[in-house]
Amino acid sequence: MTAHTATAARVRTGGPKDEGPQILEHVMGWTLVVVVAMLVVQLGLL
């Protein structure tokens, strides 16, 4: 059995899927970055 067939035989366990609203994930990620940056600046940690 090769490595490719071993991974192909695995069962999906409900983890993150490849399809989905990727643009929403990017927007939420950048929003979190901006919020953390604003918090750091407001607290004077930078």
Q: How many whole angstroms separate alpha carbon 32 and alpha carbon 46?
A: 17
* pLDDT for position 41: 94
Stretch 1-23: mean pLDDT, rounded? Answer: 65
Percent of the chain residues topping a pLDDT of 70 = 59
Amino acid of residue 22? Q
The residue count of the chain comes to 46
**Cβ contact 35:41 at 8 Å:** no
* pLDDT for position 32: 98
Tokens matching residue 20: 């989905």
**Cβ contact 40:46 at 8 Å:** yes
